[in-house]
Amino acid sequence: MNKTPLSSILLVLFASLIGSFGAVFLKLGAAHMKRGFRHIVNWQMSFGIFLFLGSSVPFVMGVRHGELSVLYPMVALAYVWALFWSKLFFDEPITKAKLGALAMILAGIICIGVGGRQ
C-alpha cells in the first residue's frame, strides 16, 4: 500500500469529529452523577457512549484502504475538536498552553499526512 486515499483520510477525520462529540455528551452525562452513582445511566451518558462506539464505523471504513501509520494519528484531531467544544459548550478557557499543544498536534498530523500522500 503506497498511498492513503483521500476518502480514507476524510472518513478518519469524520470519526474523530463524532468521537469528540461523544466526549461532550459523556461530560454532560457525568454531571448527573453528582446526585449519586445510580444516575450513571442517563440519556447524555448513553448518547456519548453511542457516539464513541459509532465513531468506530467510519474509522474502520477508513483504515481498510489506507495506511494505519498515517490514519491513526489523525484520531488525535479529537483533542483539537474537544478544545473548541469545551469552550463552546462549557465555557472552558482556551489558554496559550492549550493553543501551543493544539499547534503541535496539528503540525504532527500534517507531517504524517503529507508523508502518507507521496
Encode pLDDT of 5-25 as tens digits: 999 999 999 999 999 999 999
Q: Supply 88's cell numbers.
A: 463552546
CA 63 to chain centre: 15
Residue 111 maps to a domain: yes
Structural domain count of the chain: 1
Closest CA to 62 of 4, 1, 105, 3: 4
What would the pLDDT profile of 49-90 be if each residue is shown by its tens digit? 999 999 999 999 999 998 888 888 888 888 899 999 999 999
Output the pTM of the full model.
Answer: 0.82
Q: Within a domain: residue 106?
A: yes
Place of cell 469545551: 86
Residue 1: inside a domain: no
Q: Is 5 left (phi over 0), alpha (psi -120 to 50) or beta?
A: beta
- Is there a domain that residue 101 lies in? yes
Over residues 58-67, the pLDDT tens digits come to 999 999 998 8
- Residue whose C-alpha cell is 471504513: 61
Domain that holds residue 97: 6-116
CA dihedral 64, 56, 83, 66 (to 10 degrees): 0
